[in-house]
Amino acid sequence: MVAAMKIGILGTGTVGQTLGGKLVELGHDVRMGARDAANAKAAEWTAGAGPHASQGTFADAAAFGEVVFNCTKGEVTLEVARLAGEDTLGGKVLVDVANPLDFSRGFPPSLSVCNTDSLGEQLQRALPRTRVVKALNTMTASLMVDPGQLAGGDHHVFVSGNDAAAKVRVVELLKSWFGWRQVIDLGDITTARGTEMILPLWVRLWGALGTPMLNFKIVR
Amino acid sequence: MVAAMKIGILGTGTVGQTLGGKLVELGHDVRMGARDAANAKAAEWTAGAGPHASQGTFADAAAFGEVVFNCTKGEVTLEVARLAGEDTLGGKVLVDVANPLDFSRGFPPSLSVCNTDSLGEQLQRALPRTRVVKALNTMTASLMVDPGQLAGGDHHVFVSGNDAAAKVRVVELLKSWFGWRQVIDLGDITTARGTEMILPLWVRLWGALGTPMLNFKIVR
């Protein structure tokens, strides 16, 4: 039995639709935010997802959510954070699922930030009063919400963040909402460098194995 | 039954000593190369490893080996390649185990090259006639030569390289020498970006789990 919550989703792409869809299914109220309150992709998703789904601006979704997911493309994440509003997101848990993928040189993508900084850190600096937790950025969308599809869920999701209580909360939600069995808390938000920097390997594994339905298990 | 081979090891650190030690144990003849033919660490290793172990300069080890391992620190790898000699290493399989770790800003290290290039690619460009295969750079030294220590070997090693036959040969050697059961060929040498870029996550996993005895299993 899961208590119904209000969730904000920033972004209208596959990740936002997949997370939002699963959360509506679980009985939560989900507001999907976009630049334009009448965004067509959000409207289509909302129409299909039923009465617990709604749409609005980034600021609307940020204000609505007790927990907010950043599901935007990395290239616009910081702009979206400004549009959502530093005050609006102040004190809230923001789960950062974005990756700083740069397709400007074609495929495979490089990263627009890495090594001595990360998108997760940039987002935390842009929103100093928000409790940013990097998570779920290391697998394809359908696995985020249903890890049991692979090996009965015997593989890992990582969390990074400066606020210990926010990480504990996110770990609980990952387990109770999506069925994650194995979560590793890597440490503060600087550890997001590590999870963002495995994207280049992830993309090549997709190529080598011919499927994005893959994930990392940490064997010890 | 493994036919005895001549192996060159470039570098005298833990990785070189561990790989060299295992190869001597298997009955191969191993020459460890250093800047100085009388390098003290190589002398100590050679004395302990028995009659199949010898030492010399980087060029000596490169000339000696039918297969050569680059076990140098990333910061000196390209200089060592020059010292070993482009002609000497021409046509040979060079297994590149190095990582471009940069400790100049302290711990955890960053990478001195990543994202749009890699140490593996730099090494291949410096040695255009050498068959560079990136491998074994994603785990601690003792696991490289004995993956069965963890989960009966149910985890992965990756190979990257431009020469398909050289990769097939390295995969055979990883299996027959060290007992690797699961090897993924990621593609050409540019895929070394991916395996080098998981080092920041690897370092943080070591911190979070309190042990370097860990490895990645790709679940699909």
For chain B (length 220 residues), average pLDDT per consecutive 10? 87 98 98 98 97 98 98 98 98 98 95 98 98 98 98 98 98 98 98 98 98 98
B interface test, pick of A149, A189, A219 with most B CB neighbours within 10 Å: A219
- Cβ neighbours of A115 in B, within 8 Å: 110-111, 114-115, 200
Q: State the smallest CA–CA distance between residue B64 and chain A in angstroms.
A: 34
pLDDT of residue A88: 98
Q: Which amino acid is at A109?
A: P
- Contact state of A217 with B219 under an 8 Å Cβ cutoff: yes
φ, ψ at A53 (rounded to 5°): -105, 140
Q: Which amino acid is at B17?
A: Q
Contact yes or no for B168/A148 (Cβ under 8 A): no
Q: State the smallest CA–CA distance between residue A113 and chain B in angstroms.
A: 9
**What does B88-141 look like in DSSP terms, one character per residue?**
TTTT-EEEE----EE-TT-SS-EESS-SS--HHHHHHHHSTTSEEEEESTTS-H
pLDDT of residue B3: 81
pLDDT of residue A179: 98
For chain B, the domains span 6-209
CATH of A6-209 given 3.30.200.20, 3.40.50.300, 3.40.50.970, 3.40.50.720: 3.40.50.720
Minimal-distance CA residue of chain A relative to B206: A186
pLDDT of residue B71: 98
Q: Which of B197, B209, B220 sits opposite A201 (nearest CB)?
A: B197
Minimal-distance CA residue of chain A relative to B200: A194
Report H helices in chain B: 14-25, 40-49, 58-64, 77-84, 119-126, 141-144, 164-178, 192-196, 199-209
Say which residues have a Cβ less than 8 Å from residue B4's Cβ, sequence separation at least 6.
B27, B28, B29
Label residues B204-213 b or e (16+ Cβ within 10 Å = b).
bbeebeeebe
For the full predicted model, state whether its pTM sits above 0.80: yes
Label residues A69-108 b or e (16+ Cβ within 10 Å = b).
bbbbebeebbebbebbeeebbeebbbbbbbbbbbeeeeeb
Minimal-distance CA residue of chain A relative to B213: A220
pLDDT for residue A152 is more than 60: yes
- Cβ neighbours of A114 in B, within 8 Å: 114-115, 197
- Contact state of B220 with A150 under an 8 Å Cβ cutoff: yes
Mean pLDDT of A123-143: 98
| pLDDT one-digit tens code per residue, A163-213 | 999 999 999 999 999 999 999 999 999 999 999 999 999 999 999 999 999
- Contact state of A200 with B203 under an 8 Å Cβ cutoff: no
| pLDDT one-digit tens code per residue, B16-43 | 999 999 999 999 999 999 999 999 999 9
pLDDT of residue B2: 59
- Contact state of A150 with B116 under an 8 Å Cβ cutoff: no
> What ipTM is given for this predicted complex?
0.96
Nearest to B80 by CA among B140, B126, B129, B16: B126
| pLDDT one-digit tens code per residue, A82-104 | 999 999 999 999 999 999 999 99
pLDDT for residue A118 is more than 70: yes
How confident is residue A117, by pLDDT bands cut at 50, 70 and 90? very high
Minimal-distance CA residue of chain A relative to B218: A216
pLDDT of residue A3: 81
Q: Which amino acid is at A63?
A: A
The packing angle between helices B14-25 and B40-49, to 10°, is 20
* A35 shares contact with chain B (CB less than 8 Å): no
Q: Which two tokens stand for residue A144?
A: 């985020």
pLDDT of residue B177: 98
What SS3 state is found at B184? strand
Contact yes or no for B82/B59 (Cβ under 8 A): no
Q: Which two tokens stand for residue A53?
A: 């789904």
How confident is residue A2, by pLDDT bands cut at 50, 70 and 90? low
Dist CA B99 CA A37 (whole Å): 47
A interface test, pick of B118, B189, B204, B214 with most A CB neighbours within 10 Å: B204
Inter-CA distances, A169 with A94, A97, A173, B52, Å:
11, 16, 6, 57
Q: Which of A211, A213, A218 sits opposite B205 (nearest CB)?
A: A218
Label residues A145-168 b or e (16+ Cβ within 10 Å = b).
bebeebeebebbbbbbbbbeebbe
